[in-house]
Structure 1
């Protein structure tokens, strides 16, 4: 089903969460290119770090 999806996975030993818009069904395997810097870093307690 198409729409906005929240995808969580591991990259370089860190948990990465991404929001993506898909035009069709969710494939069984997704590939993302990581940006040079994250939009936000969240600590284990859920606090956003600077």
Structure 2
């Protein structure tokens, strides 16, 4: 995983979400944080475009 994080940082990613949880687990707090941020950005982008 360290090589993946390093590659993401070199590519300019400022925020990296990571979890060490099985994908079968329904409780994924870092994924939820990431998706909530994406929802806010999408609402802002499309909200401004519609107005």
Report if TM-score (shorter chain) is over 0.5.
no
User: TM-score, normalised to structure 2's length?
Assistant: 0.22
User: TM-score, normalised to structure 1's length?
Assistant: 0.23
The structure where strand makes up a greater share of residues is: 1
**Which structure: larger Rg?**
2
Q: Which has the higher contact order (CA 8 A, sep 6+)?
A: 1
